[in-house]
Chains A and B, each alone.
Chain A
Amino acid sequence: AQKVTQAQTEISVVEKEDVTLDCVYETRDTTYYLFWYKQPPSGELVFLIRRNSFDEQNEISGRYSWNFQKSTSSFNFTITASQVVDSAVYFCALEPLTGTASKLTFGTGTRLQVTL
């Protein structure tokens, strides 16, 4: 069975602060994919990043960066110099390579509130 834990239910920061969203996962699979999605108030989930279990390189995309540590089963997401537009619910998700379909197991999400 797969499990994704996002222990932070809600985080509030002031604009321009850095913020890290934690994600810890459990899987018996040795190969898998990890994702981060953003859910703004409009409701649709917006893809942010995908990482496969073979690639432990950290990644930076603009103000976003991701720290994947297989040894601790964590895939944390950092927003540098946060902006009001970053306010949303962020989901971490896991997809194992076993099974019949590319179905995602999501965490419960972290609501990020960025204020002026």
Chain B
Amino acid sequence: GAGVSQSPRYKVAKRGQDVALRCDPISGHVSLFWYQQALGQGPEFLTYFQNEAQLDKSGLPSDRFFAERPEGSVSTLKIQRTQQEDSAVYLCASSPDPGTHKTRGNIQYFGAGTRLSVL
């Protein structure tokens, strides 16, 4: 079956532009995660959805970052007024389980990411 798909793979934006990054999770996966990976670093958590509900957005670095998953499948990460420090790879991951207390330790399946370069 298809894995997690992210588009675009590469995005170049001028400082101040708005961008939208798309994630198509594995069909039927309840949980969806966004991570930000700076060059030479490990991924850092941004936000988490259980179906359409955004249950944790503690990792979003500023109010310029916004994520949605309106129908509980495809998700979009939007960054407004991009800054140079937003340059990174944005990774999406999905998991079949809801990640409740009783179902932790779930394997997350990652997409190949969107590499955002802000000039």
Residues of A within 8 A of B (CB): 4, 33, 35, 37, 42-47, 50, 52, 91, 93, 95, 97, 99-109
A103-B45 contact, Cβ under 8 Å, with A43-B112, A44-B112, A52-B105 = yes
A108-B56 contact, Cβ under 8 Å, with A44-B113, A50-B105, A97-B101 = no
A100 touches B56 (CB 8 A): yes
B113 touches A43 (CB 8 A): yes
A95 touches B42 (CB 8 A): no
B105 touches A33 (CB 8 A): yes
B3 touches A102 (CB 8 A): no
B42 touches A108 (CB 8 A): yes
B31 touches A102 (CB 8 A): yes
A104 touches B99 (CB 8 A): no
Which of the four size classes fits the interface of chain B?
A: 20 to 34
B104 touches A95 (CB 8 A): yes
A47 touches B45 (CB 8 A): no
Asked if B17 lies at the interface with its beta carbon under 8 angstroms from chain A, I say no
A39 to B15, CA, bound (A): 29
A97-B104 contact, Cβ under 8 Å, with A42-B112, A91-B42, A103-B56 = yes
Distance in Å from the Cβ of B33 to the closest Cβ of chain A?
A: 7
Asked if B59 lies at the interface with its beta carbon under 8 angstroms from chain A, I say yes
B41 nearest in chain A by CB position: A108
Max chain B CB contacts within 10 Å: which of A4, A35, A101? Answer: A101
With A43-B112, A44-B3 given, name 9 new contacts (CB 8 A). Answer: A45-B91, A47-B109, A50-B107, A95-B104, A97-B104, A102-B105, A102-B108, A103-B56, A103-B59
Distance in Å from the Cβ of A42 to the closest Cβ of chain B?
A: 6
